[in-house]
Structure 1
Amino acid sequence: MYSETGSQWNVAELEDAAHRHLISPAEELAKLGTSGGRTLFTSADGIYITDSRGRRMIDGPAGMWCTQVGYNCKPIADAIAAQALRICYNSPWYSLNGPSAGLARRIAEFAPGDLNHVFFTTGGSSAVDSALRFMQFFNNVLGRPSKKTIICRIDGYHGSTHLTAACSGRAGNRPNFDLEMDNVTFISAPNRYRHPQGGDEAAFLEFLVAEFEERIESLGPQNIGAFLAEPVLASGGVIVPPKGYHRRFLEICRKHDILYISDEVVTGFGRCGEWFASEPAFDIVPDIITFAKGVTSGYVPLGGFVISDAVLGRISGENAKGSAYTNGYTYSGHPVSCAAALANIEVIEQGGLLAHVREVAPYFQEQLRKLGEIPLVGDVRGIGLLGCVECATDPHSQAATDFDKAVAARIDRLCYENGLIVRPIGSMCVLSPALIIKKEEIDTMISILRESIEKVQAEIRAEGRF
């Protein structure tokens, strides 16, 4: 580890620099500048990551749902270095670069249906933001200035820009921010476990469909521009909707000329065993798919959206009316990022990782579901290499209690001590390991989680709280 001047910094100096100068995402300002906060990681390889104290752990969340091919992948690192030496930057406003053109073609090749055009951004938030801005642009060009309302879901998460934060239905993202929400409306999360109208899957689906149709009718379809939906509500707790949910919602959107935006920032690039989950896993061809994270396996930032010819055709060519989609970024289609993505795709293809995920995912889900035998576990759910174990000390509560959240945090700390990083989200323990994970490593991961849950369960029973 080196400073900008080339002198080596030790761990203590780096931790001190972070405490004194660094503001991290979701920073608790009461603890700003104090020690004992976030872990400093110093190296990683495959599915493992090592902290500054030399502790080697399985990275259960794969970074932030993103290190698909694992750490220390030399072909991606080599591609980044080679492109940085060849041409490290070009202005996307006035010129093109080879990696962005090649990557756009590759993405169009495996995107579903007629989604053949790609717009690149800097990450997931800017990808969704740009897709929503396109919706606004689209309807303005068509002479429909009132058709701008965005229908979102409670517990959905779409980013940290002003617009995407307004569209995110997780309550924890809202305190102390001012969000312009006049054109945003929320419907229920497709979460049977926590919803009072849950019932059986078929009945719950009909409830959700009826709610969607009623919202469209009450607002007026002439005022609704887009339905924004993750195939699986990832940060909301790996919520997998009832079978047929997305197909039914897409048909309603088509009926009312509402753009269907599938936010695949998490589910794209192999997480569900496919390049994109929308069509093979959920039987839909959306109007727009957003992506980020796994497109480069987290090695460098990149995001974007891919859009259908049918939608573009309505406002391009003779239908353009002199318009230009002027949304963009200094780093749109960055050559180094796109070179990393091309190398990442090649690693996934040559390693047969999509087929590997389809092989090991059922085993992962089976082993995960066995944790539902533990009394402290209220629900287990997942798809592909996405899984969630939700703790519930009160099985009758329709929402997680503060104590449930504290219990999950205790489980997380114990997992860390035993060699596994688990992503704690409220009362939930979330896993989304790298696509390269093997069955024996799944066994280790699940074993650590089981032991941690059972130990915390014994502790809170001894405390008389469960």
Structure 2
Amino acid sequence: MDNTELRAWDNGHFVHPWEGMAAVGQNDRTFVETASGIHIVNDKGERLIDGPGGMWCTQIGYGRTEMADAMAEQARQLAYFSPFNNTNSIATRFARELAKRAPGDLNHVFFTTGGSTAVDSALRFIQFRNNLMGHPDKKIVISRQKAYHGSTYLAASVSGKERDRLWLDKADDLAHFLPNVNPLYRAEGQSVADFLDEKIADLENAILTFGADRVAAFIAEPILASGGVIVPPEGYHKRCLEICRRHDVLYISDEVVTAFGRLGHWFASKDVFGIQPDIITCAKGMTSGYAPMGAAIISDRLIADIAGNDATFSNGYTYSGHPVCAAAGLTSMEIIEREGILEHVRQVAPVFQERLHDLRRIGIVTDTRGMGLMGCVQCSLDGNKTSLLEGDYEIGARIDAECQKRGLLVRPIINMCVMSPPLIISEDQIHQMFDVLGDGIRASVI
């Protein structure tokens, strides 16, 4: 297919996320036209394994007729309702099903349009609650370097990926960032246990420095996904939660990536990491990518603190609880349960992680890390783990190009490639994916 005209339209009219100004209007992006199962098909008719799973979100895979039928039927029945003035049975049912699966007393579901607006809504709710409770100065949110929480204003303000923060304004007075929690960057000779102690001390020292009367919340991804699939040391989240409880600081678990099966459970906070957060934010796999939707799931305790107060939480979206999106979410949830996809993830994850770590045998691979069906390969042309050569800034893109030639799409992030394939991926397909990735890495340095 000749996409010359379409490519010109894409460059002339479609402003993409993270659009680089150096190449604006001159990009040669891959056109993805059809998809089925774990594969996407580009405009050349080439079939590729979708290594990043769209954007961490295609849990049940592509081309599910059942999903299309459920969404179409809902659109025919009711395409929209105003969540400001009315309610609807399918959105209400979905809220109930989410609350049933969320840990502890997280029973109040605030629907949003995606992960960024879920985080923004969670932060605005915390500000609202503190204002009503007579704590107008308790607004600082503590986050981490390399954390990513979204691209709306408040969500971006608490995101700690340095390159994403260079040119856009942020609410800097509301956010404080702790040092990188990646054990790869611990001091020479420092044990992981001592590194963990240091990271916990970072949090408590920050709270004490600002004063607990000024710190509203700590926000953390169970695994720092877009920062490079950073898996904090074991026990990190439990100990952070203990610090937060000690100082009356709320704990927001940003499960936009890790919820809905990515780690083999509906939510990872309690089932994987043993913590009971005050708020969970989620999106992505919530509808398996079939429709845009997110949520902030808030605890009974936080709601009870301000229930009965003569105030309005003036935060909401035209498409909160959108019925077609809710139908997609319910149907995806039903498929995950009926097909035992959570159990499947737990079964194949050890194979995925073993093949991921086998890539360390390749000379330029300096680190591999992951959990469940999440993985990252980090590379450096001179084998240096902690610094980048000029050529290292292009290595991820080169690996992606070589992999695409061989039938695999990966997501390059500077000198890293991340994978989060559809959760339905089979053991044989996992082997195929890593065979191609290994070949692509080797070919990128020839």
Tell me if TM exceeds 0.5.
yes
CA change 1:340–1:397 in 2 (3 A) is closer
Aligned-partner Cα distance in 2 for 1:402–1:293: 34
SS in 2 for 1:452: helix
Q: Which amino acid aligns with 2:17?
A: P
Output the amino acid matched with 2:19. E
| d(CA) in 2 for partners of 1:402, 1:109 | 50
2:20 aligned partner, one-letter code: E
Q: 5+ residue gaps in structure 2?
A: none
Q: How does 1:370-381 map to 2 (within 5 A)?
A: 370-381=358-369
Supply the AA of the counterpart residue of 1:270. Answer: G
The residue that corresponds to 1:388 in the other structure is 376
- Which residue of structure 2 lines up, in the alignment, with residue 15 of structure 1? 7
1:196 Cα deviation from its structure 2 partner: 2.9
Of residues 368, 381, 386, the one that matches 1:398 is 386
The separation in 1 between residues aligned to 2:405 and 2:64, in whole angstroms, is: 27
Aligned position for 1:5: none
Structure 2 residue aligned with 1:268: 259
Change (3 A) 1:412 1:10: closer
- Alignment partner of 1:286 out of 277, 283, 303: 277
Residues 33-112 of structure 1 correspond to what in structure 2 (within 5 A)?
A: 33-34=25-26, 36-112=27-103
- Residue by residue over 1:68-106, the C-alpha shift from the partner in whole angstroms, topping out at 9 and shown as x without a partner, is 000001111111100000000011100001111000000
CA contact (8 A) 2:403 2:437 kept: yes
What does residue 114 of structure 2 align with? 123
Q: Distance in 1 between matches of 2:442 and 2:191?
A: 30
Report what 2:416 is aligned to.
428
Between 1:171-180 and 1:104-113, the stretch displaced more is 171-180
Distance 2:258 2:347 in 1: 17
Q: Tell me what 1:412 maps to.
A: 400
Q: What amino acid is aligned across from residue 369 of structure 2 in structure 1?
A: R
SS in structure 1 of the partner of residue 213 of structure 2: helix
- 1:297-335 CA deviation, whole Å, 9 max, x = no partner? 111100011111112111113xx2x12212100111111
Q: Which amino acid aligns with 1:78?
A: D
1:233 maps to 224
Provide the secondary structure at the position in 2 that maps to 1:234. coil
* 1:394 CA drift (Å): 4.0
Give CA-to-partner distance per residue, 1:380-429, whole Å, 9 cap, x none. 10000000010023445533343222222211110011110010011111
Specify whether residues 404 and 10 from structure 1 end up closer, same or farther in structure 2 by C-alpha distance, changes over 3 A only.
closer
Amino acid at match of 1:352: G
2:158 maps to 1:167: yes
Is the contact made by 1:194 and 1:399 (CA closer than 8 Å) also made in structure 2? no
Distance 1:197 1:82, change over 3 A: farther
Other-structure match for 1:357: 345
Aligned 8 A contact 2:364 2:383 in 1: no
Structure 1 stretches lacking a partner, 5+ long: 1-8, 460-466
Q: Distance in 2 between matches of 1:400 and 1:230?
A: 25
Query: Contact 1:250–1:284 (CA<8 Å) still a contact in 2?
Result: yes
Within 5 Å, which residues of 2 pair with 1:222-371? 222-317=213-308, 320=309, 322-371=310-359
1:241–1:432 CA distance, 2 compared to 1 (3 A)? same
- Classify 1:211/1:270 alpha carbon distance in 2 versus 1 (closer, same or farther; 3 Å): same
Three-state SS of the structure 1 residue aligned to 2:376 is strand
> Matched residues in 2 for 1:158 and 1:399: separation?
25
2-structure distance, mates of 1:283, 1:399 = 34
Cα distance change, pair 351–397 in 1 and its aligned pair in 2 (3 A):
closer
How far apart, CA to CA, are the structure 1 residues paired with 2:168 and 2:245? 34
Which of 15, 20, 27 aligns to 1:28? It is 20
Given residue 287 of structure 1, which amino acid in structure 2 is its aligned partner? D
| Structure 1 counterpart of 2:190 | 199
Say whether residues 1:184 and 2:172 are aligned partners: no
Whole-angstrom distance in 2 between the partners of 1:360 and 1:314 = 43
* Structure 1 stretch displaced more, 355-364 or 172-181: 172-181
Cα distance, 1:197 vs structure 2: 6.7
Is the deviation greater in 339-348 or in 403-412? 403-412
Q: C-alpha separation between the residues in 1 aligned to 2:171 and 2:144?
A: 17
| Corresponding residue of 1:464 | none
Amino-acid identity (%)? 50
Partner amino acid, structure 2, of 1:382? G
For the 8 Å contact 2:186–2:195, the answer to whether it is kept is: no
> SS in structure 1 opposite 2:185?
coil
Pairwise CA RMSD: 1.4
